[in-house]
Amino acid sequence: MSSEKSEETTEKKSWQIRKKHIIIAIIALIVFYIGYKFYPVKGTDVIRKISKNKKKVCGSAKGENQMYWKKWLNDPNKVEIGDVFRPCPSSNQEVICDREILGKIALVVDQETERLNVTYRAKTELEYDITKAGIHLKVTIDGLSAVDKQLEMCKMSNLTHISCPVRKGLLKLHDSFALPKLLMKGSYSAEARLTNQHGDDIACLNVQFDI
Ligand SMILES: *[C@@H]1O[C@H](CO)[C@@H](O)[C@H](O)[C@H]1NC(C)=O
Ligand SMILES: *[C@@H]1O[C@H](CO)[C@@H](O)[C@H](O)[C@H]1NC(C)=O
């Protein structure tokens, strides 16, 4: 009778110990995962790694447009990660190589802060004033959707530094944004479609890089 009872309590105890071990193991796994995924990236290392695995560029640029970013890209602290182009693909999966490149998106190491910046340069001839512009932005990390948002460019001038209306004629844009110090390791991709007040495409952009 008493031995049965003690057997029960030892079983209970051993289950409790096991439960504790399982919880500790799960916590260790989470800590390990976070430590593995989030780490303070060294800008120069990221630039070197991406430069090594550079992908083929799809599309072509008008000669004079190319001059706008060719020299700018020729910098050991900078690496190209995407294009601004036209026309936009009709579906998400489609990749059109017969497209005009309007600009380049790059990662650059800020020498002062040693942080990574996303920077871009684009140039185009606008045939009409832009009074309203929509941005459909999609970001995936390791193939999982992180952002899928419809934004209004004209209401984001604090961030984009582009003020509306954007007058027709030659349009040259360039800017630089600092990335957070702590970045998650992974495969990043982003695409955005810019549409005007009539809902027609202005341009598209895509970005892809692994860190
Ligand atoms: C944008 O800038 C204006 C001033 O130029 C400021 O009043 C406003 O709070 C800013 N908005 C954001 C979201 O930072
Ligand atoms: C990085 O971005 C910040 C603004 O976020 C800017 O002040 C700095 O000049 C940029 N540096 C480079 C090298 O683009």
Write the pLDDT tens digit of every residue in 145-165.
Answer: 999 999 999 999 988 899 999
Q: Which residue has its alpha carbon closest to ligand 2 atom 13?
A: 110
Ligand 2 lined by 117 (C-beta under 6 Å): yes
Give the dihedral of Cα atoms 32, 38, 44, 47; nearest 10 deg. 110
CATH topology of domain 41-210: Immunoglobulin-like (2.60.40)
109: Cβ below 6 Å to ligand 2? no
Specify the residue with its C-alpha closest to ligand 2, atom 14: 176
Residue type, 190: A
pTM assigned to the model: 0.79
Q: 22-56 as b/e, with b when 16 or more CB fall inside 10 Å? A: eeeeeeeeeeeeeeeeeeebebeebbeebeeeeee
Would you state the pLDDT for residue 2?
A: 54
Q: Above 80 in pLDDT, residue 129?
A: yes
The pLDDT score that the predictor gives to residue 95 is: 67
118 Cβ inside 6 Å of ligand 2: no
Looking at the CA of 106, name the nearest ligand: 2
